[in-house]
Amino acid sequence: MSGFGLGPVVLWTLYLTVMGAVVISALRRPEIGLYVLIPLLPNETLRAKLHGFLLADQFIDLLMLGIAVGLFLRGQRIFASSALRKVVFTLWILTFVTLWTGSLLNDLPLPAPFSDIRFSDWKNYCRIAFLLFLAQQTIQTRKQMLLVVVLMCIGMLWVERSFILSNRGRTFDTFSYTKRDPATMVSAGENGLAAFLAQNALFILAFALSQQKVRRWAFTFLGLATTACMVMVFSRGAYLAFAIGFIALGIFKRRGLVFATIAFLIVSLAIGATIIPGAVIERITMTQQANGELEASAAGRLIMWDLVMGLFKQHPWFGAGFDTVKFLVHYEGLADAHNYYIQLLGEMGVAGFSVFLWLLGTALASSWRLFRRANDPMLMSIGLGSLVCVICIAIGNCFGNRWGYIEISGYTFIMFGMVYRGLNMVEEEAEAYPEPTELPALEQAAPELVN
**330 pLDDT above the threshold of 90:** no
Quote the DSSP letter at residue 336: S
For the cut 50, the answer to whether the pLDDT of residue 398 exceeds it is: yes
Q: Are residues 94 and 74 in the same domain?
A: no
- pLDDT score at 96: 98
Q: Are residues 35 and 115 in the same domain?
A: no
Q: Which of 162-176, 270-284, 334-348, 402-416 has the highest mean pLDDT?
A: 402-416
51-65, 170-184, 209-223, 398-412, range with the lowest pLDDT: 170-184
> Would 312 be classed as within a structural domain?
yes
Comparing CA positions, the residue from 333, 6, 49, 399 lying closest to residue 190 is: 399
Residue 315, CA distances (Å) to 318, 342, 388 in order = 6, 13, 34
Supply the pLDDT for residue 156. Answer: 98
In a domain, 73, yes or no: yes
What was the pLDDT predicted at 449? 39
Residues 2 and 23 both lie in one domain: yes
The identity of residue 385, as a single letter, is G
Which of 172-176, 248-252, 318-322 has the largest mean confidence?
A: 318-322
Range(s) of the domain holding residue 334: 80-442
Q: Which of 78, 103, 129 is the last residue of a domain?
A: 78
Closest CA to 167 of 286, 277, 41, 297: 277
Please report the pLDDT score of residue 138 as a whole number: 97
Taking CB atoms within 8 Å and a gap of at least 24, the contacts of 366-373 are: 366/82, 366/83, 366/84, 366/416, 366/419, 366/420, 366/423, 367/419, 369/423, 370/419, 370/422, 370/423, 370/426, 371/252, 373/423, 373/426
Residue 334: phi and psi, rounded to 5, are -85, 135
Residue 48 has pLDDT above 80, yes or no: yes
Instruction: Please tell me the number of Cα atoms within 13 Å of 307 on its side-chain side.
Output: 20
Write the DSSP string, 286-318: -SB-TTSSBPHHHHHHHHHHHHHHHHHHHSTTT
Give 265's pLDDT tier (boundaries 50, 70, 90).
low
Q: Please tell me the distance from the alpha carbon of residue 129 to that of residue 131, in angstroms, as a whole number.
A: 5
- pLDDT (tens digit, 9 = 90+) per residue, 112-143? 888 899 999 999 999 999 999 999 999 999 99
* Helix 377-396 × helix 406-432 angle, to 10°: 150
Are 430 and 359 members of one domain? yes
The structural domain count of the chain equals 2
* Whole-angstrom distance, CA of residue 189 vs CA of residue 266: 31
Lowest mean pLDDT among 179-183, 370-374, 429-433: 429-433
Quick check: 39 and 158 in contact, CB under 8 A? yes
The whole-number pLDDT of residue 269 equals 63
Mean pLDDT on 390-409: 96
Confidence band of 33 (pLDDT split at 50, 70, 90): very high
* Amino acid identity at 400: G
74 plus 84 within the same structural domain: no
pLDDT at 402: 94
Q: Looking at the structure, tell me whether residues 101 and 202 fall in a common domain.
A: yes
Residues 217 and 125 in one domain: yes
Q: How far is CA 266 from CA 275, 278, 284, 340, 371, in A?
A: 11, 16, 16, 33, 31
78 and 137 Cβ atoms separated by less than 8 Å: yes
Mean pLDDT of 333-344: 87
What whole-number distance in Å separates Cα of residue 337 and Cα of residue 301? 7
Domain contains 449: no
pLDDT class of 347 with cuts at 50, 70, 90 = very high
Q: Is the pLDDT of residue 395 over 60?
A: yes
Candidates 78, 65, 36, 340; CA nearest to 188 is 340
Report the distance separating Cα 245 and Cα 430, nearest Å.
31
Percentage of residues in the chain having pLDDT higher than 90: 73
Is residue 75 exposed (0-12), middle (13-18) or buried (19+ Cβ within 10 Å)?
A: exposed
Q: What is the CA angle 415-421-425, rounded to 5?
A: 140
pLDDT for residue 253 is more than 90: no
Dist. CA 263–CA 243, nearest whole Å: 14
Give the CA radius of gyration of the chain. 24
Question: Among 2-6, 156-160, 326-330, 405-409, whose mean pLDDT is lowest?
Answer: 2-6
In a domain, 366, yes or no: yes
Cα torsion angle, 245, 247, 248, 252, sign = positive
| Percent of the chain residues topping a pLDDT of 70 | 88
Instruction: Evaluate if residue 25 carries a pLDDT over 60.
Output: yes
Least Cα distance to 85 among 118, 129, 43, 46 occurs for: 129
For the segment 81-89, the average pLDDT, to the nearest whole number, is 97
In a domain, 269, yes or no: yes
Does 197 map to a domain?
yes
Residues 32 and 62 in one domain: yes
| Residues 382 and 427 both lie in one domain | yes
State the helix-helix crossing angle for 142-166 and 30-40, rounded to 10 degrees: 20
* Secondary structure class of 434 (helix, strand, coil): coil
Mean per-residue pLDDT over the chain, rounded? 89
In a domain, 266, yes or no: yes
What pLDDT band is residue 4 in, cutting at 50, 70 and 90?
very low
User: Does residue 102 have a pLDDT over 70?
Assistant: yes
pLDDT average, residue stretch 4-28: 89
User: Across the strands, what pairs with 425?
Assistant: none
The pLDDT confidence band at residue 435, using thresholds 50, 70 and 90, is low
Same domain, 222 and 152: yes
Is residue 450 one of the residues assigned to a domain?
Answer: no
Helix residue ranges, H only, 374-451:
377-396, 406-432, 439-445, 447-450
Of 78, 103, 133, which one is at a domain's C-terminal end?
A: 78
User: Does one domain contain both 53 and 107?
Assistant: no
Same domain, 15 and 99: no
Report whether 54 contacts 62 (CB < 8 A): no
Final residue belonging to a domain, choices 51, 78, 105 = 78
Closest CA to 338 of 201, 125, 179, 192: 192
> What are residue 32's phi and psi, to 5 degrees?
-60, -40
Task: Measure the CA–CA gap between 405 and 117, rounded to whole angstroms.
Answer: 15
pLDDT of residue 152: 98
pLDDT band at 302 (very low <50, low <70, confident <90, very high): confident
Asked if residue 373 has pLDDT above 80, the reply is: yes
Indicate the pLDDT class of residue 293, thresholds 50, 70 and 90. low
